[in-house]
Amino acid sequence: MATLHPVPGGYELSESANASVQWRTVQVRKEPPRDDLVRSLPVAVEVRSDEDGAAPVLHGHLARFDEWAEIASFWEGNFMERIAPGAFKKTLRENRDKIRVLLNHGQDPMLGDKPLGAVRSLSEDEEGVPYEVELFRGIPDLVMDGLRAGQYGASFRFKVVRQDIEEEPDPSAHNPKALAERTIRELQLHEFGPVTFPAYEGATAGIRSLTDRFLRSDPAPSTEVERRDPPAVAPGPAPTRRRPKDYLTKGEAPPWRL
């Protein structure tokens, strides 16, 4: 039996049948999570040199405006999402000096959270958010060769500050399944940079969620379903199975059950 208990931000689901069955706990939210989200464009980053002897420059777009994308994530849920023009303005104006450019969101086994370069330009235009990053000379040759060969895509990690959510939209060309729609009006950009696998297989356009992959690699506690080994049971006769209580025939209100 599974039971839903109210908790801040949603409900907690607990499930068990008897002592020999594992427990599992998940969070059922009223809205998608807002922090430590990761999005990526399936477009290779580019590297150029402005002049002979100059430091190479990483450039491209890390986001595009008003492009709907389906988010299908264990952690976030399944919904449509787009980023509205102006969503980056405040964070770029107030926090640009704190934004870092990292390889694989600081989880690369060789470079860790060492910045790849200094941000030369980062702003909004009509299409989205273009960037230029002057790369440091100490980057390993293997990474530089991969960047020059277009083997990396761009990805960014952020927090949603303001959003609009349409929970029950009508089916449309961009949303034929009539999934809930989220429009991000303002966000806080934490960091961005090249990633080895910028999108899931089959993705050809639009922003995609890499949040699940990022959280699985994060040293913080796991966000996946918690699984516990069943408690040890001393040898002896098998326990008597109790019959589940029948709320409907007793005239009592049942708890939340799935």
- Say which residue, 133 or 210, is predicted with more confidence: 133
Q: What tokens appear for 7 in the block?
A: 């908790």
- Say which residue, 212 or 27, is predicted with more confidence: 212
Q: What is the mean pLDDT of the chain?
A: 76
Q: What tokens appear for 27 in the block?
A: 């969070």
**Model pLDDT, residue 62:** 87
Least confident of 28-37, 58-67, 188-197, 207-216: 207-216
Is 106 strand, coil or helix?
helix
Is residue 120's pLDDT more than 60? yes
pLDDT (tens digit, 9 = 90+) per residue, 141-173?
999 999 999 889 889 999 999 999 999 999 999
Is residue 28's pLDDT more than 60? no
CA separation for the pair 39, 185 (Å, rounded) = 15
**Model pLDDT, residue 199:** 58
Is residue 204's pLDDT more than 80? no
Which of 31-35, 53-57, 170-174, 210-214: highest mean pLDDT? 170-174
| Chain Cα centroid distance, residue 203 | 16
